[in-house]
Amino acid sequence: MAKLEIVTIPEQILHRKAHKVTDFGKEFQTLVTDMIETLREAPGVGLAAPQVGIPSRLIVVEYTVDEENEDAPKKLYVVANPEIVDASDETVSGVEGCLSIIGLVGEVDRHQSVVVKGQNRFGKPVKIKATGWLARIFQHETDHVDGILFTDRTDKVWQPREDEVSID
141 annotated active-site: yes
- Produce one character per residue of 32-70: b if its CB has 16 or more CB atoms within 10 Å, e if not: bebbbebbeebebbbbbbbbbebebbbbbbbbbeeeeee
Give me Rg for the CA atoms of the chain.
15
Instruction: Note whether residue 126 is domain-resident.
Output: yes
Catalytic option among 37, 62, 67, 141: 141
Instruction: Note whether residue 4 is domain-resident.
Output: no
Tens digit of each residue's pLDDT (9 = 90 or more) over 35-55:
999 999 998 999 999 999 999
Instruction: Note whether residue 6 is domain-resident.
Output: no
pLDDT for the residue 71: 74
> How far is the C-alpha of 48 from the C-alpha of 35, rounded, in Å?
8
Instruction: Note whether residue 38 is domain-resident.
Output: yes
Is beta strand 125-131 parallel, antiparallel or unpaired with respect to 113-119? antiparallel
State the CATH number of the domain containing residue 94.
Answer: 3.90.45.10
What total of structural domains would you count in the chain? 1
Residues of the domain holding 48:
12-158
Mean pLDDT of 78-86: 98
Instruction: Note whether residue 166 is domain-resident.
Output: no
Is pLDDT at 124 greater than 60 in this prediction?
Answer: yes
**pLDDT band, residue 154 (cuts 50/70/90):** very high
**pLDDT band, residue 64 (cuts 50/70/90):** confident
Instruction: Note whether residue 3 is domain-resident.
Output: no
> Could you tell me which of 29, 13, 5, 46 has the C-alpha nearest to residue 168?
46
Instruction: Note whether residue 165 is domain-resident.
Output: no
DSSP secondary structure of 107-148:
EEEEESEEEEEEE-TTS-EEEEEEEHHHHHHHHHHHHHHTT-
Is pLDDT at 100 greater than 70 in this prediction?
Answer: yes
Instruction: Note whether residue 7 is domain-resident.
Output: no
pLDDT for the residue 73: 84
Sheet of 101-111, strands arranged across: 91-98, 101-111, 157-158
Q: What is the pTM of this model?
A: 0.92
HSE (side-chain half, CA atoms, 13 Å) at 106: 16
Q: What are phi and psi of 104, to 5 degrees?
A: -135, 150
